[in-house]
Chain A
Amino acid sequence: MLKKLMKYEWKGTFKICLILLAVVAGATLVGALGWSVMIRYLSRGSAEYHNGNEMASVAVTMMGMGTFFAYILTMAGVTYLLIGYLGVHFYKTMYTDEGYLTHTLPATPKQILFSKVFVAGCWNLIILGAMGISVVVLVITIFGSFSSSYNGLYNPWAEMSRDFTQMWRELNDTGLKVEIVHTIVSTILAYIVSPFSGVIMLFGSLTIGQLASKHKLLVGILTYVGVLFANSILGQIFRFVFTLPYLVRVSTSSSSNVAARSVAGNMSSTLDASLALAVVTGAIMYFVMIQILSKKLNLD
């Protein structure tokens, strides 16, 4: 049953999510083209600038900056559109007339909920991943443009590789490697957990809204805003508590090694705190949703 539910959930969501993925791909292409044109043009040297092409230079620079802002806005827009779409799809299939079909299927509330959370979380993860890849593509394009524009005189790849090798050697010497690996693992875990925790908070809030006798959608949206706010406050408290020992160590230590280790530890603890909060909030909201769907379902 779970397989069937997931199959139809993928079917029901793929069109809009693929469009959003296409938007990310399009923005990446435009961003990469805009920046490579700007870098190549500006790197032709100041000769043209002094030869009366000042306006062209300004125009190309503005185009590059415009492309940059458009790229940022597009990525932010895709993030909000995705979360909005996932919320609307969940609400529509669970709590409007379409919910009459969903809740009369021979499936348990747990199966129905899991299929929805899993598919929405996967889309969130995929699109977030696509954005990450988009940034990498942009960086590669920009570096490549620099590299080819300066005829090999300036090679950002070689410089970056040199810096990384040196940094890694220093990390080994100071014993910071463990902290950095910890930070990388925490980042990867946070990347996987956060999209799921995010949709659970959204779906949970909309489900809590169903407990209201009137204006259920409005109550759901307000609950979501409240949950995000509370989560943010709790996040600050968690991070403060988690990182306090490191901050004390940094402020009291005169050794640069200890200070460096504390800063790295502080970073990984901040991530751990965020991760722990995402897991705890997600688990609580998921449990609340199951309880409401099993014991308090009241479709209008």
Chain B
Amino acid sequence: MDHLIDLTDVTKSYNARSAAVDHVMLSLPRGKIIGLLGPNGSGKTTLIKMLNGLLVPTSGQIRISGMPIGPETKAKVAYLPDRTYLAGNQTVTQILDFFEDFYQDFSRERAAQMLQSLHIDPKARMNSLSKGTKEKVQLILVMSRNAELYVLDEPIAGVDPAARDYILRTILNNYNPQSTVLISTHLISDIEQVLHEVVFMRYGKIVLYTSVENIHKEKGKSVDAYFREVFAC
């Protein structure tokens, strides 16, 4: 099977006592929208950072499209972090220029359309925008790329319900069947409708990797309800 992401025995330890990601073996296919779900501290963000080369695994191997993490994989991965990574003194237009320069798969037209539909002024400076609008700008930048892998870390956490709907529509509309979208979130019920598969993580380990359809069929529950059952305190 042609996997997009291959993690082989990946471990990440910040100290000698514990591992944030613990001997993870996981292969994810192309063409799916996958939810990366788990309680706080389960290792989701650490895993995502390793996929993007922001953390180096303590041991194990990560491959995207068969290549180890490096400039080639970064050219194929569109990453939305859980924070604002854009400089405050830049205008939205300057940021679009930057993305257009660095990412060959960036579509300026698509970004302009999304900015217009969200009523974001391209001349506005980032530090003049609200937190929610900054997040929208970042999402637009990411979803305007024709990437092979979209990695979205908490994409709907900081925005209002109306914007959430828009973001989910954006993900669905811009998703192409050859690419995979990996979404990490706590707001499962909001996102469940768009997911094909889910990965549950706890204490740095993968506890479940299955399709949403399977959960519905076998457990007779929604992903949100099943998540609450699995991770009940």
User: What residues of A have a CB within 8 angstroms of the CB of B52 in the complex?
Assistant: 103-104
| 30 contacts across the A-B interface (CB closer than 8 A) | A1-B71, A4-B101, A4-B102, A7-B101, A8-B101, A12-B87, A97-B85, A98-B86, A99-B54, A99-B85, A100-B54, A103-B54, A104-B52, A104-B79, A105-B102, A106-B72, A106-B74, A106-B103, A108-B70, A213-B14, A294-B56, A296-B56, A297-B53, A297-B54, A297-B55, A297-B56, A298-B14, A298-B55, A298-B56, A299-B49
Give A214 Cβ to nearest chain B Cβ, in Å: 11
Contact B86 A104 (CB under 8 A): no
Quick check: is B122 within 8 A (CB to CB) of the other chain?
no
Q: In which size bucket is the chain B interface?
A: 20 to 34
- Which 9 pairs across A and B sit closest by C-beta, in order of nearness? A106-B75, A100-B85, A101-B85, A106-B74, A299-B54, A106-B71, A100-B81, A97-B83, A97-B85
User: What residues of A have a CB within 8 angstroms of the CB of B84 in the complex?
Assistant: 97
For the complex with contacts A8-B101, A12-B87, 14 further pairs of A-B residues with Cβ separation under 8 Å are: A97-B84, A98-B86, A98-B87, A100-B83, A100-B85, A104-B52, A105-B74, A106-B72, A106-B75, A107-B71, A107-B74, A213-B14, A213-B15, A299-B49
Quick check: is A295 within 8 A (CB to CB) of the other chain?
yes
User: What residues of A have a CB within 8 angstroms of the CB of B70 in the complex?
Assistant: 108
Contact A108 B15 (CB under 8 A): no
User: What residues of A have a CB within 8 angstroms of the CB of B77 in the complex?
Assistant: 104
User: What residues of B have a CB within 8 angstroms of the CB of A296 in the complex?
Assistant: 56
CA distance in complex: A98, B55 (Å): 15
Which residues of A are at the interface with B, using a C-beta cutoff of 8 A? 1, 4, 7-8, 12, 97-101, 103-108, 213, 294-299
CA distance in complex: A101, B74 (Å): 11
CA distance in complex: A102, B61 (Å): 23
Query: CB within 8 Å of A: which of B26-76?
Result: 49, 52-56, 70-72, 74-75
Most chain A beta-carbon neighbours within 10 Å: one of B14, B70, B71, B84:
B71
Instruction: With CB as the reference atom, state the residue of chain B lying closest to A12.
Output: B87
A interface footprint on B83-117 (CB within 8 Å = 1, 0 otherwise)? 11111000000000010011100000000000000
Most chain B beta-carbon neighbours within 10 Å: one of A4, A101, A105, A108:
A101
Instruction: With CB as the reference atom, state the residue of chain A lying closest to B85.
Output: A100
CA distance in complex: A100, B49 (Å): 9
Give A239 Cβ to nearest chain B Cβ, in Å: 40
Contact A101 B53 (CB under 8 A): no
Which residues of B are at the interface with A, using a C-beta cutoff of 8 A? 14-15, 49, 52-56, 70-72, 74-75, 77, 79, 81, 83-87, 98, 101-103
Give B65 Cβ to nearest chain A Cβ, in Å: 13
User: What residues of A have a CB within 8 angstroms of the CB of B98 in the complex?
Assistant: 8
User: What residues of B have a CB within 8 angstroms of the CB of A299 in the complex?
Assistant: 49, 54-55
Instruction: With CB as the reference atom, state the residue of chain A lying closest to B52.
Output: A104
CA distance in complex: A225, B87 (Å): 29
User: What residues of B have a CB within 8 angstroms of the CB of A97 in the complex?
Assistant: 81, 83-85
CA distance in complex: A7, B94 (Å): 13
On whether A104 and B53 interact (CB within 8 A), knowing A1-B71, A4-B102, A213-B15, the answer reads yes
CA distance in complex: A103, B75 (Å): 12
Give B221 Cβ to nearest chain A Cβ, in Å: 36
User: What residues of A have a CB within 8 angstroms of the CB of B71 in the complex?
Assistant: 1, 106-108
CA distance in complex: A8, B70 (Å): 21
User: What residues of A have a CB within 8 angstroms of the CB of B103 in the complex?
Assistant: 106
Give B147 Cβ to nearest chain A Cβ, in Å: 11
Instruction: With CB as the reference atom, state the residue of chain B lying closest to A293.
Output: B56
CA distance in complex: A101, B86 (Å): 7
User: What residues of B have a CB within 8 angstroms of the CB of A100 in the complex?
Assistant: 54, 79, 81, 83, 85
Give A24 Cβ to nearest chain B Cβ, in Å: 24
Give B63 Cβ to nearest chain A Cβ, in Å: 16
Most chain A beta-carbon neighbours within 10 Å: one of B14, B15, B102:
B102
User: What residues of B have a CB within 8 angstroms of the CB of A294 in the complex?
Assistant: 56
CA distance in complex: A218, B77 (Å): 33
CA distance in complex: A297, B86 (Å): 20
Give B229 Cβ to nearest chain A Cβ, in Å: 33
Instruction: With CB as the reference atom, state the residue of chain A lying closest to B12.
Output: A298
Give B57 Cβ to nearest chain A Cβ, in Å: 10
Give B55 Cβ to nearest chain A Cβ, in Å: 6
User: What residues of A have a CB within 8 angstroms of the CB of B87 in the complex?
Assistant: 12, 98
CA distance in complex: A207, B106 (Å): 31
User: What residues of B have a CB within 8 angstroms of the CB of A295 in the complex?
Assistant: 56
CA distance in complex: A107, B102 (Å): 9
Contact A104 B74 (CB under 8 A): yes
CA distance in complex: A98, B134 (Å): 14
CA distance in complex: A297, B49 (Å): 11
Instruction: With CB as the reference atom, state the residue of chain A lying closest to B104.
Output: A106
Give B126 Cβ to nearest chain A Cβ, in Å: 11
Give A270 Cβ to nearest chain B Cβ, in Å: 42
CA distance in complex: A124, B103 (Å): 31
Most chain B beta-carbon neighbours within 10 Å: one of A1, A98, A100:
A100
